[in-house]
Each structure stands twice: as structure tokens, then as C-alpha cells.
Structure 1
């Protein structure tokens, strides 16, 4: 039985560790009982649904919608079906049949800053406060975000060494070009701010 946050706060360190271990075990058992396996990153969810060996793509009935998911064999009860716990980008989500024995589904989250508690709202929930994400690498980032992070890292290093940041360097370069175009002007008192 999950504790309220007030009850949890009253536990000693040892009681919390024991409670957390029990909760993780309960979550593992609940997830193992589902008819699929799933994993997630902040931006997406991947689901593997076992199907009978020899299944062909044309035997499948799969629906991926912004807030709904259904996976099964035609003319049979779905293996999994229901409302997704969060919205997805349908146009960036897809499924494939691997080795005629499992359906692999990739769902792109609309909100890429939120962990999912579950895939379908009626299935057991995970405690998302206990998720420890993998360290991301710069190569995992999209071009614009990567550029911004690299700029921030460069500026941080420059400040630590007492050197100008990238913005200050750009301003200095612009001033140099302007000076070259206007040698008749006196720039001795020019300040870069």
C-alpha cells in the first residue's frame, strides 16, 4: 500500500530504504505482468508487444492516435488497448513487426520534459520521482540545442580564464571591421559593452 508523502517523510532512513526497495519490487512485478514491455527517455517511449510466432504485418490491427493506442491481431481482442497517459506526436510515431514475433512501437512524446507513469492510463503506475535518467551526451541533442549548450560551455570556460565570451568576441570583431572601413575615425575611447 503506497504511503502518502506525509507518512513517507516520517520514516527513518532505514525505513525509507526498505520501503523504496519494496515499492521497486512491486513495480517490477506489476510491469512484468503486463502483456508488453516498455521503456522511455524524456522525449519518447518504446514498447515491445509479443505476438504469436509467424505473425505477418497484415494480420495485425494497430491504431496509434494522439491519446489512444491499440495493438492486436485482426478479429481478436486487442493485446493492449486504451487511453495513453500523455499525448503523442502521431506523425513521428511508428510501429514495426520484428522477426514475425513482436511488434515494436515507438511513440514521440508531445511533452518532452515529462516522464510517463504508465503507457495506458488503466495500467499500474511507476513512481516517476525515482527515475534516474542516463547522462545524455552532446551528440544526443538536436543541432540547435547542441549549439546552445556548446556556446554556454565555451563562455563558461572563457569566463574562468578571464577571457571574453563568444558575444564579446563577436562585438570586438564587429568593431575591428568597422575600424578598418573607417580609418579616418578615432576609436581610442570606444567601449564594448
Structure 2
């Protein structure tokens, strides 16, 4: 098995295959690092009561009542059901669009597909939208800042924040116990 990078032609063929698979789905989907949106069209005479939408922590089913669901399956990762929703909107062309919003539990993970039975996309090719740290909630911002700091430290060959904390504890322990020989101590 070859571990080399695909050639530009192979890469283009993979992207074309992925696009064809995604275009063939009966729904469209987009995602950010924190949530995922699914849309599909229904005839303009349909109302919300004509639809069957069931959003669960690890699965989703949606379509027209009495018909085969347009999307049905297990989600690859958990969602926050209470923060997820669906709406039916009218388009100018007379059709209506079902919009399903799923709020990811893990807001640091890209999904390679909406349901596990669907074809996957290559999440390594996702280019996240530019956002400012100030746009993030406090906990997420702190996590991102720590990750950025740790990445810079690693690039410079210096200890990460976790390693620095362990070194600080070891130094404090050495000061409190000068009679112990800790020269061979290793941090793990």
C-alpha cells in the first residue's frame, strides 16, 4: 500500500467523485465546526403537518408523511436535541424548503457525513471560515487559545502548557523535599 500523496490528477478525481456522490444525495448539507444544516425541497402545497421530522441525539429522520424518508439514519456523532430544530420555508419558485439545524455536542470536530450510511467527504480538505477569537464563547475561546499556545510551543521545541504545569509541580516538590534525589524523574 502506497503512503505517498496523491498526484494533482488523482486528487482532482477524488474531489470530482466526492462532489458527484454529494450531489446525488436527496438533500444538501453544510456545516461549521459547531453545527450542521440539512435542506431539501418539498412541493409548495405542503404544510408542516405533512412532514415527519424526528431529531434524536444520535439519529435523524425527515421526509413527507406516508413516504420513504428523504434522510434517515444514525448520526456519526451526538447532537444537542434541545438546541436543534427544523423549519419549513417558502421559496419564490413556489416550492418549500425543509431546513434542519443540528447543534453538535463536540464543537471541535468536522463531520465526514450527516448519516453513517451516506458517502463521506474528506474532512481534511475543509477550510474553516475565518472567525475571530472574540466571536467564541468563553470556554471555547480558552480551549482554542490553549491549543494555539501549545502548537506554538511545540513548533519551538518548548513544553506545552500541560507539560509546563507538571514541571512547576515537580520543581515545587523538589524544593519541599531537598533530601530526595529526583534527577532521574520523568514526566509522563
Secondary structure, aligned partner of 1:50: strand
Matched, 1:106 2:96: no
Secondary structure, aligned partner of 2:7: helix
Matched, 1:56 2:47: yes
Q: In the alignment, which of 102, 107, 123 is matched to residue 128 of structure 1? A: 123
Map 1:165-180 onto structure 2 (within 5 A): none
Matched, 1:78 2:69: yes
The gaps in structure 1 that reach 5 residues or longer are 1-5, 151-193
Aligned-partner Cα distance in 2 for 1:113–1:80: 25
Deviations 1:58-88 (A, max 9, x none): 1111000001101111122111111111111
Q: How much has 1:7 moved relative to structure 2? A: 2.1
Aligned-partner Cα distance in 1 for 2:67–2:115: 19
Q: How much has 1:140 moved relative to structure 2? A: 2.7
Distance 1:149 1:63, change over 3 A: closer
Q: How much has 1:21 moved relative to structure 2? A: 1.2
Aligned residues: 141
Matched, 1:95 2:86: yes
Secondary structure, aligned partner of 2:124: helix
Which stretch of the first structure deviates more once superposed, 135-144 or 124-133? Answer: 135-144
TM-score by length of 2: 0.68
Secondary structure, aligned partner of 2:115: coil
Secondary structure, aligned partner of 1:48: strand
The gaps in structure 2 that reach 5 residues or longer are 146-188
User: Do the aligned partners of 1:45 and 1:107 also contact (CA within 8 Å) in 2?
Assistant: yes
Aligned-partner Cα distance in 2 for 1:57–1:34: 22
Matched, 1:33 2:24: yes
Name 1:7's counterpart in structure 2: 2
Distance 1:75 1:111, change over 3 A: same
Name 2:177's counterpart in structure 1: none
Secondary structure, aligned partner of 1:112: coil
TM-score by length of 1: 0.67
Distance 1:122 1:145, change over 3 A: closer
Deviations 1:147-186 (A, max 9, x none): 8989xxxxxxxxxxxxxxxxxxxxxxxxxxxxxxxxxxxx
